[in-house]
Structure 1
Amino acid sequence: MRDDDVETIGWQLTAFARRARALAERLHPELPLASYSLLAHLAETGGCRATDLAAYFLLDKSTISRQIGDLERLGLVERQVDPANQRVKVLRPTEAGLRKLAEVGERQRTAFRSRLDSWSDADLAAFARYLERYNAAD
């Protein structure tokens, strides 16, 4: 039974990821999910180095460089000298990046609310805790 549940969880997480990508494409076609995730992380942390992003998202540095380059060209991210170490560049969202993040985030929350509207408060709270617990395992 436990193996069956683990199998079901795997399939459901895969379906969840596919839906999240599709939703992201509909909500912000100009900002791919990967770039949106990087921008959101930069806003959440107040900025970090590209190598920190690569480590956090378990991505190759070249992948991060391409995506950050796209975000810079869109004017959503900028590089700033780290005051603690003048040789280090810290990536930070621009004001335009923060506005885009807020706009896309609100559209995303609206879509989630719509999908979860029929859930009870208890089910919603349990789901939130389970997702936090699952993601904390990394």
Structure 2
Amino acid sequence: MQARKDASIETIHRELVAFARRARASAARMHPQLSLVSYTLLAYMSDRPDCRATDLAEAFLLDKSTVSRQVAALERLGFVERRTHPSDQRVQVLLPTAAGATVLAEATRAARRSVRGRLADWEDADLERFAAYLTRFNDAAPPA
């Protein structure tokens, strides 16, 4: 029994690594100006209007200098702006600009089209199970 479980875990690990590689490689197809990291950070900021750079570093387990470089690149592209937090003038929050929201929406649509295409011939029950398993797997991740 343990050998079967070990083999399954090895397969899952190998497929997750392959998935991560494909995700990074296909990021430019989602939108040519967004890397996978930039897309992920922009989406996170979009979902959290009071997001600070330190929040990004904590959420993604990144060094503050890495986040700083990524945010600066998004600012240069005109996709992110810094604003003073309304209740604490010492704190700067990061917000997608209108251009950032547009590019995020375009990239998200492209990514969903790609996933939809790869899963087009799957049965509804398989899709529901797969979605549930991915959710369960991600919910089991340790907090950042």
Structure 1 ranges of 4+ moved more than 6 A? none
Q: Secondary structure at the match of 1:79?
A: strand
Give the conservation status (yes or no) of the 8 Å contact 2:83–2:93. Answer: yes
CA–CA separation in structure 2 for the residues paired with 1:46 and 1:137: 26
Describe how 1:72-83 pairs up with structure 2 within 5 A: 72-83=75-86
The answer to whether the Cα contact below 8 Å between 1:47 and 1:93 also exists between their aligned partners in 2 is no
The sequence identity of aligned pairs, in percent, is 57
Report the alpha carbon displacement of residue 137 of structure 1 after superposing the two structures with TM. Answer: 1.5
What's the counterpart of residue 32 of structure 2? 29
Contact 2:80 2:94 in 1 (8 A): yes
Cα separation, 2, equivalents of 1:117 and 1:23: 19
Separation (CA, whole Å) in 1 of partners of 2:117 and 2:94: 34
Structure 2 letter corresponding to 1:80: R
Q: Distance between the aligned counterparts of 1:9 and 1:43, measured in 2?
A: 31
Report the counterpart of residue 131 of structure 2 in structure 1: 128
**Structure 1, unaligned stretches of length 5 or more?**
none
Matches within 5 A, 1:1-138: 1-138=4-141
SS in structure 2 at match of 1:30:
coil
Higher relative contact order (CA 8 A, sep 6+): 2
Q: Indicate the SS of the match to 2:13.
A: helix
Q: Cα RMSD over matched residues?
A: 0.9
Q: Say whether the 8 Å CA contact 2:53–2:67 is kept in structure 1.
A: yes
Unaligned runs of 5+ in 2: none
Question: 1:29 Cα deviation (Å)?
Answer: 2.3
Which amino acid letter does the alignment assign opposite residue 62 of structure 1? S
- Aligned mates of 1:95, 1:30 — CA distance in 2: 15
Measured after TM superposition, the shift of residue 22 of structure 1 is 1.6
Q: Determine the C-alpha separation between the residues in 1 that align with 2:72 and 2:29.
A: 22
CA contact (8 A) 1:80 1:89 kept: yes
Cα distance change on mapping 1:9 and 1:27 into 2, 3 Å = same
- Between the aligned partners of 2:48 and 2:140, the Cα distance in structure 1 is 20
Alpha-carbon separation, structure 2, partners of 1:125 and 1:35: 29
- TM-score normalized with structure 1 length: 0.96
TM-score by length of 2: 0.92
> Take 1:42 and 1:83, find their aligned partners in 2: how far apart are those partners?
16
Check conservation: 1:79, 1:90, Cα contact below 8 A.
yes
Give the counterpart letter for 1:53 in structure 2: L
**Aligned partner of 1:22: which letter?**
A
